[in-house]
């Protein structure tokens, strides 16, 4: 599974209405540099995963990423069944936050790879009180440790919030020698992140901004998508629209 463009935008369709999504995709799907769509629990709880994938597949050939809010934070024995359901529904990639420990990293990342899907692995959210040093419950080095283990298993796609340029820079430097490693960057717009700062920190890795409200809630979603995708594409190869292989 490949995204042809090295830099681009993934639209987070954090909505719960398929008719609204159909209108959104009709407007934004032709935008160059828009390489895929992420959706999560709001849609799947209302309509079911298979039905949502079928609806998207009727509207786009681009990458579909499922964010289970957040898959991987479970006992290892759940991994194979969860991944099988996602595979059978027709997903391309899964966002995994295997914070439950090394066994869960092994199980969820391993099952995703074995099923032929792409694991997009993370462990941090763009929240001011997420990590232990600032009052949260998650260890400061959790993200780095999760990504290191996921990498040894074969994962090459990682998710890091745009609001943490230090973490983006650190992980990009660590994986810079690996040309097949890519970063997915949420938290842009309403949560305070910025494409230019985040993508600059991510060099030389391929990077994709995951953007929701700044596109789907814009007065003109197509214009917003073109502007944001153009900004993302300015950091890399602009020769391809990107899409589902």
For 38-68, the DSSP string reads EE-HHHHHHH-HHHHHHHHHTT--SEEEEEE
Convert the pLDDT of each residue in 192-212 to its tens digit: 789 999 999 999 999 999 999
Q: Is the per-residue pLDDT at 189 higher than 50? A: yes
Q: Using one digit for the tens of pLDDT, what is the confidence trace for 228-238?
A: 999 999 998 53
The pLDDT score that the predictor gives to residue 126 is 85
Reduced to 3 states, what is the DSSP secondary structure of residue 81? helix
Range of the domain at 203: 9-232
Q: How confident is the model at residue 177 (pLDDT cuts 50, 70, 90)?
A: confident
Residue 11: beta bridge partners?
A: 37, 211
pLDDT at 243 over 60: no
pLDDT classification of 245: cutoffs 50, 70, 90: very low
Statement: residue 242 has pLDDT above 60: no
Q: What pLDDT, on the 0 to 100 scale, is given for residue 238?
A: 38
**Which band of pLDDT confidence, cut at 50, 70 and 90, is reported for residue 153?**
very high
- How many domains is the chain partitioned into structurally? 1
Confidence band (pLDDT; 50, 70, 90) for 244? very low
30 lies in some domain: yes
Does some domain include residue 244? no
Query: Is there a domain that residue 82 lies in?
Result: yes
**Mean predicted lDDT score pLDDT of the chain:** 92
DSSP code string of 215-241: HHTSSSHHHHHHHHHHHHHTTS--S--
Asked if residue 242 is part of any domain, the answer here is: no
54-72, pLDDT tens digit by residue? Answer: 999 999 999 999 999 889 9
Q: Does 50 reside within a domain?
A: yes
Going by their DSSP bridges, the two strands 118-121 and 93-96 should be labelled as parallel
pLDDT tens string 74-92: 999 999 999 999 999 999 9
Is there a domain that residue 120 lies in?
yes
pLDDT of residue 239: 36
Residue 238 lies in a domain: no
CATH number at residue 153: 3.20.20.70
Is 76 contained in some domain? yes
- Judge whether residue 3 has pLDDT over 80: no
């Amino acid at each position: 599974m490949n995204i042809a463009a090295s830099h681009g935008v993934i639209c987070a369709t954090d909505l719960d209405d398929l008719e609204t999504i159909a209108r959104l995709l009709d407007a934004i799907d032709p935008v160059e540099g828009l390489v895929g769509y992420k959706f999560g629990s709001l849609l799947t709880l209302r309509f079911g995963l298979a039905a949502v994938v079928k609806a998207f597949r009727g509207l786009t050939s681009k990458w579909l990423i499922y964010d289970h809010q957040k898959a991987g934070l479970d006992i290892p024995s759940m991994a194979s069944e969860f991944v099988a359901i996602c595979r059978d529904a027709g997903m391309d990639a899964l966002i995994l936050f295997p914070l439950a420990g090394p066994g869960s990293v092994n199980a969820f990342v391993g099952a995703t790879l074995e099923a032929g899907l792409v694991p997009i692995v993370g462990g941090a959210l763009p929240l001011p009180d997420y990590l232990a040093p600032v009052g949260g419950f998650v260890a400061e080095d959790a993200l780095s440790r999760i990504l290191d283990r996921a990498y040894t298993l074969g994962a090459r796609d990682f998710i890091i919030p745009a609001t943490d340029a230090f973490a983006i820079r650190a992980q990009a430097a660590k994986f810079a020698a690996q040309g097949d490693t890519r970063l997915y960057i949420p938290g842009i717009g309403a949560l305070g992140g910025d494409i230019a700062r985040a993508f600059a920190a991510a060099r030389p890795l391929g990077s994709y901004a995951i953007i929701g409200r700044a596109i789907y809630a814009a007065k003109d979603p197509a214009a917003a998508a073109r502007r944001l995708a153009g900004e993302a594409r300015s950091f890399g190869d602009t020769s391809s629209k990107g899409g589902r292989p």
